Amino acid sequence: MIEQLEAELAALRAREDSLTNRHAAAETALGGAKATLQRHHLDAHLDADEKARTKLETAIAACVLTCDGYSDALAEVQTMIAAAEQKLARERAIVERKAASENLMRDLDAVERALPDYLAAGKRFTDALERVHFHYESGAMALFIGNTATQVEVAAGFALVELRGMVDAIRDGVAPIPAAKPVSTSVPVAEPAPPTMTVFMLKSSHYRDLDNRKRFAGQWEDATMPVTTAQHALRMGVAVPLTDSKRAQLRGTRGGDFDPRAPDVVDLDAVEEPKNAPHIDPVLRAANFTVIDRSAEARTVLIDVPRT
């Protein structure tokens, strides 16, 4: 039945497409016929060309009739498509409910087969534990298992009766189809991206990015690179922080005129810092502080003392 309905629905949709195309063509023809009649009214001799006018009006009437015919047929086909879709949905729902009820029936049969085995295994385990009744933990386990088995047996009796009733209710459409058991999937935790730093280049340089690919940074342009590389460039005087005043004055003034193979291009991965050189913070270096020696200046200090 479902295959037959799907074939009928496919045929109706194909018919709808064909009627839609023909209706569009008929509307285009109608517009052309009206435009021709309008030109006749504007250009031709109105009293001498009655036959021509009548012919044009007849053509328009025929186009209108064709458009209306296709429009009515298209509306009827769309109604038939909606009815076929509803019928197909009902048939599919019947199949799905039947399959769901049968699956539930098989699951309940499996529960009923497994329940006696569970109770018997619990009874055997309890009997074994009771042989060591003098041991407190063993006695507590035996008591717990015995109480649990009794509760499970009673609860299973009620649950199985209720679930057996749901089988028919699902098949008849009275009860909804049980939702599928959610599948627990482990969501991969995205590793944080390695830190980078953007600096303003005073010299054109080569450096390696976080993927160990060779990169080129042009003079008087901003460059984003690994933090360690950026700090190395700042200490070497190859770059300055973005807050440096040189950036506002020089950025982009070269206009992209770079030669990565020029001899003055610095390789930041190959240049080593001078050994035993005092460490100067890159921000302080960029601030251009000037040290003033005031050791030789005369100083006079006034203090208040009590008179005696």
* DSSP-assigned letters across all residues of 169-181: HHHTTSSPPPPPP
What is the structure's pLDDT at 304?
A: 63
Q: In the chain, what is the straight-line distance between the N-terminal and C-terminal CA atoms, in Å? A: 125
pLDDT per residue as tens, the chain (308 positions): 788 988 999 999 999 999 999 999 999 999 999 999 898 888 877 776 778 888 888 999 999 999 999 999 999 999 999 999 999 999 999 999 999 999 999 999 999 999 999 999 999 999 998 888 888 888 899 999 989 999 999 999 999 999 999 999 988 888 888 888 887 777 777 778 788 999 999 999 999 988 889 999 999 999 999 999 999 999 989 999 999 988 988 888 888 888 888 888 899 888 776 655 555 555 555 555 555 555 555 555 566 656 65
d(C-alpha 6, C-alpha 8), whole Å: 5
What is the structure's pLDDT at 43?
A: 85
What is the structure's pLDDT at 307?
A: 65
- Give the helix/strand (H/E) hosting 194: none
d(C-alpha 88, C-alpha 10), whole Å: 12
User: Where do runs of H (alpha helix) occur along 44-132?
Assistant: 50-130
What is the structure's pLDDT at 269?
A: 85
What is the structure's pLDDT at 72?
A: 93
Give the residues across from 205 on adjacent strands. Answer: 217, 266
Q: Which of 304, 295, 218, 293 is nearest to 260 (CA)?
A: 218
Q: Is 285 in contact with 237 (CB distance < 8 Å)?
A: yes
What is the structure's pLDDT at 262?
A: 87
Question: In residues, how long is the chain?
Answer: 308
What is the structure's pLDDT at 260?
A: 87
d(C-alpha 217, C-alpha 207), whole Å: 8
d(C-alpha 32, C-alpha 121), whole Å: 89
Domain range summary for the chain, segments of one domain joined by +: 2-146, 196-287
What is the structure's pLDDT at 34?
A: 92
Locus of tokens 């749901």: 166
Q: Which two tokens stand for residue 193?
A: 């991206």
d(C-alpha 83, C-alpha 76), whole Å: 11
Q: How many CA atoms within 13 Å lie on the side-chain side of 285?
A: 15
